[in-house]
Amino acid sequence: MITDDFDERTIANMEVALDRACERFPEQLASHEARKRIAAQILECARRGDRTLKGLTDAAMLAATLISSRKIRSHQPSLNGFQRMIH
């Protein structure tokens, strides 16, 4: 269990980091799956030894940015025809 691996301060930092990332991209990260993926990156960061709020938040923001950029790209219409017209 996660509470066995980390102290209370680290767990609190992990929760804050997750909340900050999800607040930054609320529409793209509304799903449970997206939050799980960010949480996994936070856990990985903590297991590597960086348990600071800044380190955990940086890991969360990076994961959130990657997830949200993929979601945005997957919802954009193709511009191939337009790009051919301007080149």
Summarize pLDDT for 64-82 with one digit per residue, the tens: 999 888 765 555 454 454 4
Q: What integer pLDDT is reported at residue 11 of this predicted model? A: 96
Give just the sign of the alpha carbon dihedral 8, 9, 10, 15. positive
Mean pLDDT score of the chain: 83
DSSP letters spanning 9-33: HHHHHHHHHHHHHHHHSTTTT-SHH
